[in-house]
Amino acid sequence: MDGPSTGRSLVRASSPTSTDELGVRHELISAANLLRGQHGRRRTARQLVEQLGLSTPAAAALEGEFPRPDLLDDVFQFDRNEFQRHAPYRAIELDNGGLLVAEDAQFEQVFQRQVVNVQDRRVRFVTEGHVVDESLRKTK
């Protein structure tokens, strides 16, 4: 990404911690996945927000991560590899205490999501693999 401040702000803003609202976080993660298709293109962050059709709260969360509003209008070249280097993992925490973490680019292949109840937003995740490490941790 050309403008380092612009690129870093875009990565921070598309991370799930840039807002407390779950729906907005999900929208920003979905937008981050779509951004990978912008590799090599020159755009401003404002143009990307418009192109992605972000909701007002998601756009506000993204724009709020920029240290100065004028950086939204800086043109930068999107670099998918650089973007992934700064946001390589996706994590989902469930209300039952479960925590799923995988490389963002492979998350949907590692964990298959099944909707259990649309109204309650209940989901089931399925995965399969060999245990290569196991540990106790103090925090998430």
DSSP 140: -
User: 55 pLDDT band (50/70/90 cuts)?
Assistant: very high
Say what the alpha-carbon torsion angle 66, 71, 72, 78 is, to the nearest 10 degrees: -90
Residue with tokens 């007002």: 56
Residue with tokens 């590899």: 81
pLDDT at 18 over 70: no
Rounded mean pLDDT of 69-78? 88
List, for residues 76-130, the tens digit of each pLDDT value: 888 888 877 777 788 888 999 999 999 888 899 999 999 999 999 899 999 999 9
Question: What tokens were used for 80?
Answer: 């998918």
Distance in angstroms (rounded) separating the CA atoms of residues 17 and 14: 8
